[in-house]
Amino acid sequence: MDRDKNLSNVLTSFRNVSQAVTNLRDTDLLNPHGLSTKLNLIMFFAYKFSDGDVSKIKELIGELRDSINSNGMLSENHRKRLLFKLESLDKEFHKIMSDLSKFWDLFGEAALMSRMGTPDLKPAVGIITKIMRIVWSVQATANQLISGTDFPGLPTQVLKSDANA
């Protein structure tokens, strides 16, 4: 009996919070850039991957894991770090996500590996680039960029100026 009452109280609380948010959104006191818009962004904005995107990214994550494990050019510390990041990304990757920062962290690793100048790292960088092209497409669509907006990749000016530093 207590369990049913507790469940009923929880459901009532959720309904009250939902109604309060709806009331806030519906008031004329909130301008388009006020709390109402922020609540909508926090509560309703998400990146949506297609089933095909999810399957392909999962496949590429597996390939990347194999590539990292079989690569002799990475230090053991770097390999462990990469595998930890990859495992964390794999666990948190879903069809609908509110944050893509773990993917962009992986892209940073690709930039680092591409600068190491080791041909053995090219397959891993290529796999990350394939993943990021899919992520970029989803991110561009969610942010209403023009269809087919090119993946930005690594800016060559930044890479050249870093090489001279």
Collapsed DSSP state (helix, strand, coil) of residue 152: coil
Q: What is the pLDDT of residue 74?
A: 86
Q: What is the pLDDT of residue 24?
A: 57
Q: What is the pLDDT of residue 15?
A: 67
Cβ-in-10-Å burial (0-12, 13-18, 19+) of 51 comes to exposed
Q: Give domain limits for the chain.
A: 2-44, 47-164
Q: What is the pLDDT of residue 164?
A: 43
Cα distance between residue 11 and residue 87, in whole Å: 35
Q: What is the pLDDT of residue 119?
A: 81
Q: What is the pLDDT of residue 62?
A: 96
* pLDDT in single tens digits along all 165 residues of the chain: 676 666 666 666 666 666 666 665 555 444 455 555 555 555 567 899 999 999 999 999 999 999 999 988 888 999 999 999 999 999 999 999 989 999 999 999 988 888 887 788 889 999 999 999 999 999 998 888 887 778 877 544 334 434 444
DSSP state letters, 45-110: --EE--HHHHHHHHHHHHHHHHHHHH-SSS-HHHHHHHHHHHHHHHHH--SEES--HHHHHHHHHH
